Amino acid sequence: MAIIVKAYLTMRQVVGNRASFEADFNEISIRELLFILALRFGPRFESMVFEKNTHSVGPDIRILVNGKHYGTLPKKLSTILKDGDEIGLFPPIAGG
């Protein structure tokens, strides 16, 4: 099954300057997908998604599944993704 991952803002640089790409998996949860992407794209991706020295998703990353924040889904990060699902990754935004 194909899952479409869309990277926004500075997250695009981390995933090879691509706005989107497909990830093929049989059955995978949001959490598992994030771990696999961290292995694929390295420490910078990991630091943008996870809290330091933990496997907890950081409070500043915005992860949308088909336009809905994962926190609004019944199983949250344990939600199993389906063929054609779109995952949006919005990195922390700093400003002042």
- Domains located in the chain, CATH noted: 2-90 (3.10.20.30)
Percent of the chain scored above 70 by pLDDT?
Answer: 97
pLDDT at 55 over 90: no
List % helix, strand, coil for the chain (3-state, nearest 5): 30, 25, 45
Digit-coded pLDDT (tens) for 29-50: 999 999 999 999 999 999 999 9
* pTM for this prediction: 0.92
Average pLDDT over residues 9-15: 94
Please give the structure tokens belonging to residue 62.
């915005």
